[in-house]
Chains A and B, each alone.
Chain A
Amino acid sequence: MTTLPDRVERRMGLVIDLDICVGCHACAVSCKEWNTQGYGAPLSDQHPYGADPSGTWLNRIHSFEIEPEDAPAQIVHFPKSCLHCEDAPCVTVCPTGASYKRVEDGIVLVNEDHCMGCGLCAWACPYGARELDRAEGVMKKCTLCVDRIYNDNIPEEDRLPACVRSCPAGARHFGDLSDPGSAVSDMVRARGGMDLMAEQGTKPVNKYLPPRIRDRHATAPQTVQLARLAEPEATGFLGWLDRALERLG
């Protein structure tokens, strides 16, 4: 049913710490590895060894540069996957009933046996979190690893989304964001966890922790003008003039 549930029992989701992510892509690789082999259609690649490779991924790592007014530029690595929105536009547009949001944990899923591959849900998502698998013709998206988090057949420490389990830096956290006492809710409160594109009205469950403000030097370090260092050496008359002036001190 592609109407959204009136209320969900829990809001399971991710908290991603942009201060810690080092941009190693381990979570994306681990996600692809897990999700290509468990449930449903595998995550296919097209021309993986050709000139123009492409493929289906549920998690992708962008890198951005922030240029503050009064401080040196800063790189932020930015993992992005489905945010399991409370008002998920991708669910309500689905004509077949393949897309749905679960009442018990708020996870947004696609029933791959019902999806007709129209792609409308991917158009409705502001975040680029849904990709149509080009081999299977069905919509793929992050499942929060539903086949891990409740899985009694794997050791308890592995009952986390693959991305969270594999992050070597500890930048990713998983928990119930509807429970104010959960560790993830604590983090969101303490660090000002934010919604992406709040103006789209999707009410994402996943939160991003902004990078902390870097220390500002009391006396701002002189920014080195690289361009000047790279100026070509003058030759001919100008070169002579340059050397002559230098000799004058």
Chain B
Amino acid sequence: MHPAPSIIVFTVLSGLGLGMVFWAGLGLGPDHGAARWWIAVLALGFAAGGGAASAGHLARPDRAWRAFSQWRSSWLSREACLMVAALGTFGMYAAGWTLGGVRFWPVGWIAAGLALATVYATAMIYAQLRTVPRWSLTPTPQTFLAFAGAGGLMGVEAASALGGADVSAGRVLLALALTAGVAVWWQTEAAGAGRRSTGSDIGTATGLGRLGRVRLFEPPHTGSNYLLDEMAYRVGRRRAYQLRLIGAVAGFLVPLALTLLAPLLGGWLMVPALVSHVAGVMALRWLFFAEAEHVQAFYYGMR
């Protein structure tokens, strides 16, 4: 599948921001001081900025408001509605927390729940597609939730450090380790989830498989088209190994090392740790799209 930069930025940043909403809503972060502002502003900024990036993927962004209408059937619509609800609720909670110094616990919990549901809905946009086994046969929702959780926790700690508050390295280490585990789990499942793993192949796609071995004799057109560009993306797959390495090192090893050093050298290390983590997750998200195979490509003779 075509790895559109707008969707990669969107899923990574909104996951990060919603993860921060989740932890802050549950009560993480100090009760006083500038750190509260950093946490609230960064959480809302990442989530809303990511949301704005997603509009870059639309051919008609002026009609994006219509996406709030079909929550009964569509995960994309549910995601849009939940996102607005989560950020609205968190906005109220954050106003009390930052301006008044009071936490309205029930509001925070609702915001946390909505943030979690939003990330789940984002993941389901991909996980619902039977046409892309690498997304539908793998623990995609678990992975998106784990990444949002770890990223959000790092975001809260980094924002706390920026606001001069204390940083707790222990839980970040735990979250990073757990998320690395989930990432490996997803990767193991994905390794076997090619476009044939739902039982489809060129034989079932054409219905001709029962008559003999089928191969493409002539494609329907000589040039490319929307279908091939979008659904049969193959550019840069040979860089997959290097990108996965970047994902592992920048996304996990560097942040782990920086987090370990933070108690010794200072909480500010959480900031480069977060930047590194986000860069690594972007590389992995790029692969999430670029390596996913769509069953449509059978009609173009791809195996």
Question: Chain A interface (Cβ within 8 Å of chain B)?
Answer: 1-4, 18, 23, 28, 52-57, 60-69, 71, 73-76, 78, 80, 89, 91-98, 114-120, 122-128, 131-132, 134, 137-138, 194-201, 208, 210-211, 213
Contacts and interface: CB of A to CB of B under 8 A. Distances in A.
Majority secondary structure, B binding face:
mixed
Given A60-B221, A62-B216, A131-B227, A96 B208 contact: no
A66 to B, nearest CB: 4
B58 A116 contact: yes
Contacts of B64: 116
Contacts of B210: 210
B208 A3 contact: no
B1 interface: yes
Given A64-B216, A95-B77, A199 B198 contact: yes
Contacts of B73: 1-4, 91-94
9 contacts: A1-B73, A63-B220, A67-B213, A76-B208, A93-B129, A116-B66, A119-B59, A197-B200, A210-B210
Contacts of A213: 211
A155 to B, nearest CB: 31
B75 A93 contact: yes
B61 A116 contact: yes
Interface residues on B, range: 35 or more
A197 B223 contact: no
A119 B207 CA distance: 27
The 9 closest A-B pairs by CB, nearest first: A117-B59, A137-B59, A68-B212, A95-B77, A60-B220, A96-B66, A95-B76, A116-B63, A63-B218
Contact of B76 (A69, A73, A93): A93
Nearest to B215: A65
Residue in A56, A71, A74, A125 with the greatest tally of chain B CB atoms within 10 Å:
A125
Contacts of A138: 59-60
Interface string B179-202: 000000000000000000011101
A116 B61 CA distance: 6
Interface in B209-264: 210-221, 223-227, 230-231
Interface stretch (B137-145, B158-166, B292-300): B292-300
Contact of A124 (B129, B211, B220): B129
A198 B204 contact: yes
A96 to B, nearest CB: 4
Most buried by A among B62, B132, B299: B299
B224 A97 contact: no
A196 B213 contact: no
A95 B70 contact: yes
Contacts of B58: 116-118, 137
A122 B226 contact: yes
A122 B59 CA distance: 13
B125 interface: yes
Contact of A97 (B61, B69, B217, B219): B69
A6 to B, nearest CB: 13
B130 A131 contact: no
B171 interface: no
A29 to B, nearest CB: 12
Given A3-B73, A56-B225, A123-B129, 18 more contacts: A4-B73, A54-B221, A54-B225, A55-B225, A62-B219, A67-B214, A75-B217, A89-B129, A91-B73, A93-B128, A96-B77, A118-B58, A118-B76, A120-B125, A124-B129, A126-B295, A197-B204, A200-B130
A196 B300 CA distance: 15
Contacts of B211: 66, 68, 74, 210-211, 213
B290 to A, nearest CB: 14
Contacts of A127: 296, 299
A94 to B, nearest CB: 6
Contacts of B300: 62
B102 interface: no
Nearest to A47: B223
A65 B217 contact: yes
A210 B207 contact: yes
B80 A125 contact: no
Q: Which of B70, B132, B295 has the most CB of A within 10 A?
A: B70
A125 B131 contact: yes
B57 interface: yes
A195 B294 CA distance: 19
Contacts of A196: 204-207
